[in-house]
Amino acid sequence: MKETEIDWKNLSFGYLPTDYNVRCTFKDGKWGPIEVSDSEYIPIHISASCLHYGQESFEGLKAFRGKDGKVRVFRMRENARRFINSAHGIKMEPMPEDLFCEMVKKVVKLNERFVPPYGTGASLYIRPLEIGISPLLGVKPAKEYMVVMLVSPVGPYFKDGFKPTKVCLSREYDRVAPKGTGAIKIGGNYAASLVAGEKAHELGYSVMLYLDPKEKKYLDECGAANFFGIKDNTYVTPASPSVLPSITNMSLRQLAEDLGIKVEQRHIPIDELPTFEEVGACGTAAVISPVGEIDDLDTGEKYVFAKDGQAGPVSTRLYNKLRGIQLGEEPDTHGWCDIIEFD
Ligand code: PLP
Ligand code: COI
């Protein structure tokens, strides 16, 4: 596809083919060289552990074309570290942080023409994934692994972008088990969320807001994003062993502190919902997605946050600050962005 044919401003969050992906294989106890491929397919043994027993993890990060024309990748070392945690969580070989970062830089460089222009609201989504590739029948970890990184230019995850969406909650579904895999980023968690997610869509909601899987009392994960609420100049987000430690959330907590907003990471009982002035979901794909209403499907209770259909003032300030850093409009005082050098 020619980049001149892409309608950058109207991109959705979906897959678009690009020029290259990069791959690296762990075999005979070591990682091999980074390989460049122009194929959209990978050869997989029919008995590979990823196919049978779900040995698969993935990441999501973004590259942005800045105001100054430079391309910035946001917090890739944090993604590298989480990728390592995910590997440990399902007994895969962890990819060294530096190798992960080298692959990220390489795949962005190779696909420079797909980094969306500044001012379009779009970005280049980078999707690393790791799979167990050894042929197995018994349930045990593979000996060989492959990491693939592909990229795709994307627009907003929720079609309304930075506009409040409606979310539902229910006690009927769990995304993960209490001491399960919720805090790591593995494909199995997403497969397990599809029934609830599709139920939410069928009912006209953007996502399912999960309650903690143990007591069903506290707010947990918000679809494929973290939950936050704002009240009394305080940013409140769940402390839960079953939510993914979001790098966006980590960044927003820092930005909130920078802006003089207090930060609390703690259990949030459902009963506290009516006290929030603003509510949102945050993540790499979602950025900040303001939540205008939460409907409890079991009790019929409705919690309304955005009466005027607009994002609240604190969410807006945080969103602008985060975007500003990613787009090189604001000083990167925390050193979160890596600038990609093109030859
Ligand atoms: N929670 C889940 C389940 C996710 O899939 C994601 C997306 O990566 C997030 C939270 C947000 O994490 P991050 O901000 O690191 O993208
Ligand atoms: C992300 O925000 O990067 C995600 O991985 C969420 C979703 C697309 C799975």
Print pLDDT tens along the chain (343 aa): 777 889 999 999 999 999 999 999 999 999 999 999 999 999 999 999 999 999 999 999 999 999 999 999 999 999 999 999 999 999 999 999 999 999 999 999 999 999 999 999 999 999 999 999 999 999 999 999 999 999 999 998 877 778 899 999 999 999 999 999 999 999 999 999 999 999 999 999 999 999 999 999 999 999 999 999 999 999 999 999 999 999 999 999 999 999 999 999 999 999 999 999 999 999 999 999 999 999 999 999 999 998 888 999 999 999 999 999 999 999 999 999 999 998 7
Q: What are 284's two structure tokens?
A: 């790499």
Considering only CA atoms, which of 11, 251, 21, 247 is closest in space to residue 117?
A: 11
Question: At the topology level of CATH, where does 3-154 sit?
Answer: D-amino Acid Aminotransferase; Chain A, domain 1 (3.30.470)
Residue 313, amino acid: P
Residue ranges covered by each domain of the chain: 3-154, 165-326
Pocket of ligand 1 (CB under 6 A): 60, 221, 224-226, 244, 246-249, 283-284
Q: Report which bound ligand comes closest to the CA of 192.
A: 1
Going 201 to 128 to 86 to 62, the CA torsion angle's sign is negative
Residue 278, amino acid: E
Q: How far apart are CA 301 and CA 255, in angstroms?
A: 32
Which residue from 157, 190, 251 has its CB within 8 A of the most atoms of ligand 2, so it is best to mutate? 157
Closest-lying ligand 2 atom to the alpha carbon of residue 285: 2
Q: Which residue has the tokens 């000996």?
A: 143
Query: Do the two domains 3-154 and 165-326 of this chain adopt the same fold?
Result: no
Give pLDDT, residue 202: 98
Give pLDDT, residue 40: 98
Q: What are 55's two structure tokens?
A: 């040995």
Give pLDDT, residue 80: 98
Closest-lying ligand 2 atom to the alpha carbon of residue 60: 3
Q: How many A from CA of 135 to the centre of ligand 1? A: 30
**C-beta 240 within 6 A of ligand 2:** no
Query: Crossing angle for the helix pair 76-89 and 97-110, nearest 10 degrees?
Result: 120
Give pLDDT, residue 7: 95
Closest-lying ligand 2 atom to the alpha carbon of residue 127: 3
Considering only CA atoms, which of 13, 16, 25 is closest in space to residue 148?
A: 25
Superfamily of domain 165-326: D-amino Acid Aminotransferase, subunit A, domain 2 (3.20.10.10)
**C-beta 283 within 6 A of ligand 2:** yes
Give pLDDT, residue 161: 74
Give pLDDT, residue 1: 74
